[in-house]
Amino acid sequence: MTEVIILARLCTVECADGSIVKNARIFYDGENLIYRNADGEIIDGVKTHGAEIINRVSNLSLISYKERTQ
């Protein structure tokens, strides 16, 4: 089973359809970013517009890199 870690919370995320989701969370499964809305449902996030980064500054670098290379 893949370990999933939380990278950020209280995010504003732009989705592939152009909609904006507030209070989202960003997770990482070792390969991909996983965006979830406040209800825990997976959303099709493509860009983060603000976030409270969890634990390390390196999480911000990882989010930025993965969003640029998707």
The β-bridge relationship of strands 52-53 and 20-28 is unpaired
User: Average pLDDT, whole number, for the chain?
Assistant: 89
Give the global pTM: 0.83
**CA–CA separation, 11 vs 51, rounded Å?**
4
Give the H/E segment covering residue 23: strand 20-28
Mean pLDDT in residue range 24-48: 94
Percent of the chain predicted with pLDDT > 90: 53
* CA-wise closest residue to 35 among 21, 49, 24: 24
Mean pLDDT across 38-63: 85
pLDDT digits (tens, 9 = 90+) for 5-29: 899 999 999 999 999 999 999 999 9
